Structure 1
Amino acid sequence: MPGPPRLIELPNGTPVWLVTRYDDVHQVLSDPHFERAPVHAPDTPPIVESPSLLDSRDSIGRQDGDAHLRLRRAVGRAFTPRAVEHMRPWVAGVVDQLLDGLVVQGPPADLVTDFALPLPCRVIHRLLAVDDVPTEQLFHWAEHAFAGATATPEEGDRARCELTDFTTALIAKRRKDPGDDLVSSVVRATDHEGGISEATLVNLISTMIVGGHDTTMTMLSNSLLYLLTEQDKAWARLGSDEQAAEVLTERLIHLIPLGDREERLGHVLAATTDTLLGGVMIRTGDFVTTDHVAANRDPAAFPGDPHDHDNLFTPLPKPSLSFGVGRHYCLGTWLARAELQLALHRLATRLPALRLTITADDLVWRHGTVTRSPLHLPATW
């Protein structure tokens, strides 16, 4: 159960305040007196030994103040709600193409390899104009870019080097011959903005290349597993009511975590001044980390049974913390929402009798440091 901030230790023994209540997590993520950059300063020992793109000091998630604002300005316009609304027709077209393929192929099918994986990969292909990169290559890079648990260190290093080399060459190519794609837009914006290092730009574009599809694939696969094993009535309603599908999508994002929180804590921040948090005085220099999953289950913020059918189709009483809040709110959240909503609604409409051919107990899981989802979802209809 969520409770007041309490002291725990990071893997390297560093004490950190763990924050679990909704209001407290919201305060930490919104209050400018909690910063990320001091935790990852060059003269500070690393809090986690991980080669993940997200743990790099060049990551946008490790920046604060003007450095962070410059990066968000460079990429943010492409992912506003209005920009994503313009993308919806062609995202829907990608969904329909995949569904047409499923129908023509006929059952059985694998909902991961035949639907949940290719959907965000095709979207990213088009958005970044990297059509020459096979889906299998994107997936391979994604599995290693975030230091996946199944990869050996040597395999991970090799894949991350490949991704870095590819991104570096892509940036150089778009500088020389820019187009209408997102990479060209970000490169132009960062060069115009100034003050953004090449290493930071490479990390940003690399994260967009692999992170955009990994997160959406995970959300879609986990949502399908949940709906088809535990919420058959919700599946029927999902396909018949597009507005209900929009509400359900938000509930699923809120309800189903991307990964195992035991394997990876949330971002670690440092207090830059004495701050009262949830009745506990956090001193200047103290480290704080947030548990979004616990906060999203806080009964004070979200009363009632979240798995109840009626609740699944009732708007959330407060914004979910799944994509963060405040200045570090996930840039790709609106695109991820659109992909998930369109995919679930149209799949349930086309295949209302869809069902898995194995039980949840028989699934094989893909484990990573950031995401966790089924490797396969064999299904029929």
Structure 2
Amino acid sequence: METMERLFQSNFKVGAYPFYEYLRQHDPIFLMSQQHNQSSWIVTKYDHVKELLKTQSFLKDQSKLFSTSPHDTPQDEMTTIFQNMMLDVDPPDHTRLRKLVQPYFNPKTIKNLQPRIEDIADQLIMEMNNKKGPIDLINDFAFPLPIIVISELLGVPAEDRNKFRRWSNTILAAADDMETDFVEDVQAFTQYLTRLFEERREEPQDDLISNLLQAEEEGEQLSRTELYSMIVLLIIAGHETTVNLIANTMYALFEHPRQMERLREDFSWTENAIEEGLRYYSPVDFSTARWAEKDMEFHGKHIQRGDLVLASLSSANRDESKFERADEFDITRKEVQHVAFGFGIHFCLGAPLARLEGKIALEKLLNAFPDIRLAEQKPNWRPVFLLRGLDNLYVNIK
């Protein structure tokens, strides 16, 4: 099996799960590439993935290992924004940054958002009802729901929300291949944020951006670069994962009509359906990069200092040694201990919000459209290495 080549084929997502199974059984710590004395590895087994995500032997901040990034580009000034994201730093910086935004994402705060999320879902469903023909469930529901929620939380004006979809797509695509649009879109993104920050400094509001600007002005809590990085991360992570969670879970239900019927008959299974959806079609295929702090042995493989290591969350969530009938979608599965939101100190900050949005989405859609069904055309998986999401999801609702 030509394992490395398969990872970069445009149709890789279609046959990914049998490929992951092959790796788990034959090469669970997989050498993906080797160049310039640096190796890149993919970890595929559940227990190994949890160990990787938890251990302090792998770093997020590559500046601790390299004087310059091993993947320097002409856009270094702009990429600095992404290298200072909370996802890509270690304690104590990670602890400090997470503490600044944690109050906005704790379960109690998120619970208070439920009435507003339900109102947004109802409005989107009303607009869907007024359309004819097949409807793209992603474009008309799964995307706008979380982008409206995170935008309102941050304080982003309603008329600017759709801009983030293009910017987000460009940034995520750059993880695979640095396109020329990257420079223009990141410049547009940062220029937009600069104008928004100026407005909020002049007229602070009761939103997360205003509060983070206050933390930046205090100096010791948040630097200017960290401020930009934090907002970019919250906008992208605040909607991308949830778009995939909603659409992927609905797609799995369409593929398994008996499970769909079970859920229709008893909505007490909704939270379980969300957890099974997260496991079965994980919204994030791979963790962001970690780097070996020193030479080490990791489950039979020699990892050198500076090697890049990725966790395959999708593979871990289909590990047959952890989950019985791992390749079956079963909303009644008990204690679905997946790693779709990661593990350890970098566990997804927005997990409570994504779960609530997913639960509301499923219940609202199935209540409003008792005959909702997949349109004839089969959807395609987006060719984005880090994520598992659909290009579109056309449905008939009448």
TM-score, length-scaled by structure 1: 0.85
Task: Give the partner amino acid of 1:368.
Answer: V
Q: CA deviation at 1:131?
A: 2.3
Q: Aligned to 1:18, what secondary structure does the other structure show?
A: strand
Q: Aligned to 1:16, what secondary structure does the other structure show?
A: strand
User: Which residue pairs with 1:316 in the alignment?
Assistant: 335
Q: CA deviation at 1:244?
A: 0.2
Equivalent residues of 1:235, 1:348 under 8 A apart: no
User: Which residue pairs with 2:5 in the alignment?
Assistant: none
What is the aligned counterpart of 2:164 among 138, 152, 165?
A: 138
Give me the whole-angstrom Cα distance separating, in 2, the residues matched to 1:337 and 1:181.
Answer: 22
- Compared CA separation, residues 12 and 235, structure 1 to 2 (3 A): farther
Query: Share of identical aligned residues, percent?
Result: 27
User: Which residue pairs with 1:350 in the alignment?
Assistant: 368
Give me the whole-angstrom Cα distance separating, in 2, the residues matched to 1:348 and 1:221.
Answer: 13
Q: CA deviation at 1:132?
A: 4.1
User: Which residue pairs with 1:379 in the alignment?
Assistant: 396
Task: For residues 143-178 of structure 1, give each alpha carbon's deviation from its aligned partner in whole angstroms, at most 9, with x where no partner exists.
Answer: 223236999833332121111111122223323332
Give me the whole-angstrom Cα distance separating, in 1, the residues matched to 2:393 and 2:80.
Answer: 26
Task: For residues 32-67 of structure 1, give each alpha carbon's deviation from its aligned partner in whole angstroms, at most 9, with x where no partner exists.
Answer: 222111367561442586979799322221100111
Give me the whole-angstrom Cα distance separating, in 2, the residues matched to 1:48 and 1:292.
Answer: 27
Give me the whole-angstrom Cα distance separating, in 2, the residues matched to 1:271 and 1:77.
Answer: 32
Q: Aligned to 2:92, what secondary structure does the other structure show?
A: helix
Q: CA deviation at 1:223?
A: 2.3
Given the alignment of the two structures, is residue 235 of structure 1 paired with residue 260 of structure 2, yes or no? Answer: yes
Query: Any gaps of 5 or more consecutive residues in structure 2?
Result: 1-20
- Compared CA separation, residues 340 and 271, structure 1 to 2 (3 A): same
Given the alignment of the two structures, is residue 224 of structure 1 paired with residue 250 of structure 2, yes or no? Answer: yes
Q: CA deviation at 1:297?
A: 1.4
Give me the whole-angstrom Cα distance separating, in 2, the residues matched to 1:73 and 1:149.
Answer: 27
Which shifted more, 328-337 or 94-103?
94-103
Give me the whole-angstrom Cα distance separating, in 1, the residues matched to 2:294 and 2:176.
Answer: 40
User: Which residue pairs with 1:56 in the alignment?
Assistant: 82
Aligned residues: CA RMSD = 3.1
Task: Give the partner amino acid of 1:180.
Answer: D
Q: Aligned to 2:291, what secondary structure does the other structure show?
A: strand
TM-score, length-scaled by structure 2: 0.82
User: Which residue pairs with 1:129 in the alignment?
Assistant: 155
User: Which residue pairs with 1:88 in the alignment?
Assistant: 114
Matches within 5 A, 1:194-343: 194=220, 196-228=222-254, 230-258=255-283, 266-272=287-293, 277-278=298-299, 282=303, 286-308=307-329, 311-318=330-337, 320-343=338-361
- Compared CA separation, residues 189 and 241, structure 1 to 2 (3 A): farther
Equivalent residues of 2:53, 2:343 under 8 A apart: yes
User: Which residue pairs with 1:155 in the alignment?
Assistant: 181
Give me the whole-angstrom Cα distance separating, in 1, the residues matched to 2:244 and 2:58.
Answer: 29
What is the aligned counterpart of 1:35 among 53, 56, 59?
A: 59
Equivalent residues of 1:18, 1:291 under 8 A apart: yes
Give me the whole-angstrom Cα distance separating, in 1, the residues matched to 2:294 and 2:37.
Answer: 23
User: Which residue pairs with 1:78 in the alignment?
Assistant: 104
